[in-house]
Amino acid sequence: MIRTRTNRTTSTSTRAITPLCTFTKRLLPLGLALVCLISAGSSLAPAPASAAVTAAPAKNVVLLDAASGHAFVPSRVLTGLDGLQIQWDASRQRLTIAQGEATTAILQVGSAKAEVNGEPITLADSPFTEAGATYVPLQFISSTFQLPAEWDKTAGSVRLGQGDARLTLPYANRGAASSTGAGKAIISERKTYKVGGRSFTVQQVTISLMDPKVHLMVALAGDTVGKVEELSSLAKRHKAVVAVNGTFFNAYTNDAYKAPYGYIVNGGELKMKASGDKRTIFTYDSNLLARLIPGADFNEAFAAGTMEGALQAGPRLVVNGKVSVDVKAEGFKDPKILTGGGARSALGLTRDHKLILLTSGGATIPQLAEIMKQAGAYQAMNLDGGASSGLYYNGKYLTQPGRKISNALIVTYQ
């Protein structure tokens, strides 16, 4: 079944890593969230040109001022949200935000002086431009136009508006939305972690998902379900900086068709269906707001129309910063999955919207979970392992697979 998306509006050597983002249904009130926020970011597709102030970056993100804790939203995402319309006067650097005939606000970039329905007011924070977008104070927009803003601390995101037009945006510290360059946005390390008295040397690549030049793709071998291809070939074909093997597949059949096991979504289209499968799924939207969800939640999440990519594997390794492995709940039946050691691949998400891709040799699933926790993952899951385990970075293998693979998660930097 193919379906098109709808309603779219993203310790040896060092070079640094940090903690995660993912998914929860518990949302925090606006006032409380402004006090306890962390950092993170990336988000939705651009609004109409009238809402754009300058050349739009690839992603939208709510920015936080580290000193005050105040939040700012890109003005371009407001168009059409709860009836809001934006007009931009480039010569005066002035924004007019209207909600029908009821409320009109006029704001000036760099000025705390504003007008609401013709009456002068003083803003707590001035609008500003950063990374190709104009940002306005979220508290002002929320209170003036009665725009709901719900904070999800676990996911590092903000949900704006109500009904079908709601947007979910990542949040990040101010200054973090600018492109940092590939050398800082994508970092490769060879590290050693100690688990239960044993040392594991791993290959690890950490990617800043909020960087506007970072993009993800769930790629199929030969661009076709059921084919296999060398990981390096797949990576080079898509001009990837990073590639890691993806979900399980039928590697041992003599048939030409080697079926992948689990949901696969690429470009908003469902490429592989796995109804009833309980294993963990890695998903992301067009702004690379990423999360890990149970297999049972896939249909509802996909129906929302914002899923850009997805890859199902499992088992889950880390939940909210704690090791959490429950193979029976995910439908794994082989008892050796917990006790057997071997080549492993895993992915993790940090609280500040970084993606950790990691390969290790000889680890059991519980040991891999501890490794991912130590690596800084706030959420993490296992990928296909054994001879499939492979990690490609910057034109060469960090870990070379022992066979051709069915699918991969790839990272490009454009």
Does residue 18 lie in a domain region? no
pLDDT in tens, 191-247: 999 999 999 999 999 999 999 899 999 999 999 999 999 999 999 999 999 999 999
pLDDT in tens, 372-401: 999 999 999 999 999 999 999 999 999 999
- Does residue 325 sit in the same domain as residue 383? yes
Q: Which of 268, 261, 264 is closest to 303 using CA atoms?
A: 268
Overall residue count recorded for the chain in this entry: 414
Which domain-ending residue is among 155, 173, 191?
A: 173
When pLDDT is cut at 50, 70 and 90, the band that residue 22 belongs to is very low
Which domain-ending residue is among 123, 145, 173?
A: 173
- Does residue 139 sit in the same domain as residue 216? no
H-run or E-run covering 337: helix 336-339
For residues 136 and 239, what is the distance between their CA atoms, to the nearest angstrom?
A: 36
For residues 83 and 62, what is the distance between their CA atoms, to the nearest angstrom?
A: 20
Question: 294: burial class by Cβ within 10 Å (0-12, 13-18, 19+)?
Answer: middle
Does residue 189 lie in a domain region? yes
Does residue 349 lie in a domain region? yes
Percentage of the chain surpassing pLDDT 90?
75
For residues 188 and 186, what is the distance between their CA atoms, to the nearest angstrom?
A: 7
SS3 269: strand
C-alpha dist (Å) from residue 254 to 221, 225, 258, 259, 357: 17, 16, 8, 12, 30
Structural domain count of the chain: 2
- Does residue 272 sit in the same domain as residue 312? yes
- Does residue 326 sit in the same domain as residue 217? yes
State mean pLDDT over 131-151.
94
Does residue 24 lie in a domain region? no
Helix, strand, coil in percent for the chain, rounding step 5: 15, 35, 45
More confidently predicted of 180 and 103? 103
- Does residue 282 sit in the same domain as residue 394? yes
Question: 154: burial class by Cβ within 10 Å (0-12, 13-18, 19+)?
Answer: buried
Please state whether beta strands 62-64 and 167-173 pair in parallel, antiparallel, or not at all (unpaired): parallel
Predicted pLDDT of residue 176: 64
pLDDT higher than threshold 60 for residue 5: no
pLDDT higher than threshold 70 for residue 177: no
Predicted pLDDT of residue 165: 76
Q: Which of 116, 4, 20, 132 is closest to 76 using CA atoms?
A: 132
> Would the CA dihedral through 56, 58, 64, 67 be positive or negative?
negative
When pLDDT is cut at 50, 70 and 90, the band that residue 26 belongs to is very low
Angle at 265 between CA 323 and CA 132, to 5 degrees: 90
The answer to whether the CB of 182 falls within 8 A of the CB of 241 is yes
Mean pLDDT (the chain, rounded): 86
**For 299, phi and psi rounded to 5 degrees?**
-60, -45
For residues 241 and 260, what is the distance between their CA atoms, to the nearest angstrom?
A: 24
- Does residue 167 sit in the same domain as residue 279? no
Count of alpha carbons within 13 angstroms of residue 388, beta-carbon side: 23
- Which value, in Å, is the radius of gyration of the alpha carbons in the chain? 22
- Does residue 201 sit in the same domain as residue 128? no
- Does residue 72 sit in the same domain as residue 120? yes
Predicted pLDDT of residue 193: 98
pLDDT in tens, 279-319: 999 999 998 999 999 999 999 999 999 999 999 999 999 99
- Cα 397 versus chain centre, distance: 24
Q: Which of 172, 124, 167 is closest to 149 using CA atoms?
A: 167
SS3 119: strand
When pLDDT is cut at 50, 70 and 90, the band that residue 275 belongs to is confident
When pLDDT is cut at 50, 70 and 90, the band that residue 132 belongs to is confident
Question: 108: burial class by Cβ within 10 Å (0-12, 13-18, 19+)?
Answer: middle
Which domain-ending residue is among 126, 141, 173?
A: 173
pLDDT higher than threshold 60 for residue 37: no
Predicted pLDDT of residue 180: 66
Tokens of 237: 């074909």
- Does residue 89 sit in the same domain as residue 166? yes
Instruction: Mention every residue, 6+ apart, whose C-beta is less than 8 A from residue 13.
Output: 189, 190, 191
> Would the CA dihedral through 390, 395, 396, 398 be positive or negative?
negative
- Does residue 224 sit in the same domain as residue 111? no
- Does residue 348 sit in the same domain as residue 211? yes
Does residue 323 lie in a domain region? yes
Q: 152: domain CATH number?
A: 3.30.457.10
- Residue pointed to by tokens 């059991």: 364
Does residue 66 lie in a domain region? yes
Q: What count of other Cβ atoms lies within 10 Å of the Cβ of residue 268?
A: 19
Q: 146 is in which domain, residue-wise?
A: 30-173
